[in-house]
Amino acid sequence: MIVDGKHLKSVWLEGNTVRMINQSLLPHRFEIFESHDHQRTTRAVLNYVVRGAGAVAAAAAYAVAQAVIEAPEKEFDAYVETAISELLGITTSYMVVHAVERVALKVKKAGSVEKAKLAARKEAEAVADEDANACARIGELGAELVGDGYRVFTHGSSGWLASTDWGTSLSPVYTAKRQGKNVFVWVGEGRPALYGARLVAWELKEEAIPFSLVTDTSTGYFMARGDIDVVIVGCERITRSGDVVARIGTYEKAVLAKAHKIPFYVAAPLAAVDWEAAGPKAIEAEERGEEEILWIQGRDEVNALHNVTTAPDGTHARNPVFDVTPAKYVSGIITEKGILKPDKLKNHLPGADT
């Protein structure tokens, strides 16, 4: 990510300290959050200092490594197991759970405490590096879908901040720009957390890519006018049958895109594929608290931040986080291995002959 002219990752490890861009403060203030122990890193995940499947997976992997490095030798196993349980207790994200289990398995097989410390750090770095490399490759392949002068619509927030580096849905846009193409981005605001308005808009501004922020309910309007050439979104998880779990509102964008004959692509590393889940009903719905809907944060004319409510006292709300887009609405899935039709994902099942 380019910030003030400098390239930064969203999360990285320096020594035993995890550093990350504090997404909870954006776009009003830019700050690097520093965590010197696994408990602080775990709280950062819980409090959305870091967000996005790839970025949180890297942060969680680093948190396990920190716990292993911190653990006293006499209570090593119990200390590490507690740290892992805490992480798994605050998230159900498929990529995050997989990242934590990867590091935990390397620690279990290490054979000694000292070897475990080295193995944990190495595996955590591998989780982050693989995510960054996959997202860079997604950008290279996905840029083929972005022609010069294209107007790209994106929903949710799966840009640079949501991954260790490059991002997923916006990686093709960033790569296309570096190839000299003129690209414009329509950014859905992303209610209720306003990730589009807060995070995607901030990224695109830093990258000097022209964009317009639009309400979530205006997508059909712009599609009907012929103002959108392609839709590219990220996701939380993909079933082996090609159904996509993504930020709430993605499903309706896919239906609208199909109705207007606009290509609808999902950008994600193969690490996001849950090979044990098949069909749109295989994923359990997740809901968060109603506070995200009933309250909103913004700054006033003197740059002071305020939380304000937008509904009458006593109002209750439902807050589903993700929806499931059936594979039939997906034109293709942009992965590090190629742009795949949903029904071809099975060819990349770990161990499959591709």
Assess contact for 174 and 207: CB atoms under 8 A. Answer: yes
Element (DSSP H or E) covering residue 134: helix 113-142
Q: Is it the case that residue 233 has pLDDT exceeding 60?
A: yes
| pLDDT number for residue 91 | 75
Looking up residue 181, the CATH number of its domain turns out to be: 3.40.50.10470
Total domain count for the chain? 2
Question: Is the residue at 141 inside a domain?
Answer: no
**Do 24 and 165 share a domain, yes or no?**
no
331 is written with which tokens? 């034109």
Task: Give me the mean pLDDT over the 330-345 stretch.
Answer: 95
**Do 47 and 114 share a domain, yes or no?**
yes
Task: Give me the mean pLDDT over the 149-155 stretch.
Answer: 97
Instruction: Read off φ and ψ for residue 242, nearest 5 degrees.
Output: 90, 10
Query: pLDDT digit string (tens) for 154-175?
Result: 998 888 999 999 999 999 999 9
Q: Is it the case that residue 92 has pLDDT exceeding 80?
A: no
Among 149, 153, 150, 310, smallest CA distance to 218 is for: 153
Among 93, 87, 212, 78, smallest CA distance to 163 is for: 93
Task: Give me the mean pLDDT over the 49-75 stretch.
Answer: 95
**Do 188 and 129 share a domain, yes or no?**
no
Band of pLDDT at residue 353, cut at 50, 70 and 90: low
**Do 119 and 220 share a domain, yes or no?**
no
Which of 93-97, 139-143, 218-222, 339-343 has the least mean pLDDT?
Answer: 93-97
Q: Is it the case that residue 352 has pLDDT exceeding 90?
A: no
**Do 306 and 244 share a domain, yes or no?**
yes
**Do 124 and 216 share a domain, yes or no?**
no
**Do 214 and 280 share a domain, yes or no?**
yes
Q: Among 73, 108, 136, identify where a domain stops.
A: 136
Q: Greater confidence, 310 or 168?
A: 168
Q: Among 136, 162, 181, identify where a domain stops.
A: 136
Looking up residue 21, the CATH number of its domain turns out to be: 1.20.120.420
Task: Give me the mean pLDDT over the 46-75 stretch.
Answer: 94
Q: Is it the case that residue 300 has pLDDT exceeding 70?
A: yes
| Residue span of the structural domain in which 18 resides | 2-136
Question: Is the residue at 131 inside a domain?
Answer: yes
| pLDDT number for residue 175 | 97
Assess contact for 267 and 171: CB atoms under 8 A. Answer: yes
| pLDDT number for residue 301 | 87
Q: Greater confidence, 349 or 257?
A: 257
Q: Among 108, 136, 164, identify where a domain stops.
A: 136
Please state, in angstroms and as integers, the Cα–Cα distance from residue 160 to each residue in 40, 171, 207, 264, 326, following that order. 23, 7, 11, 20, 26
Among 184, 192, 126, 187, smallest CA distance to 159 is for: 187
**Do 185 and 51 share a domain, yes or no?**
no
**Do 116 and 212 share a domain, yes or no?**
no
Measure the CA dihedral 278/337/196/32, to 10°. 120
**Do 227 and 301 share a domain, yes or no?**
yes
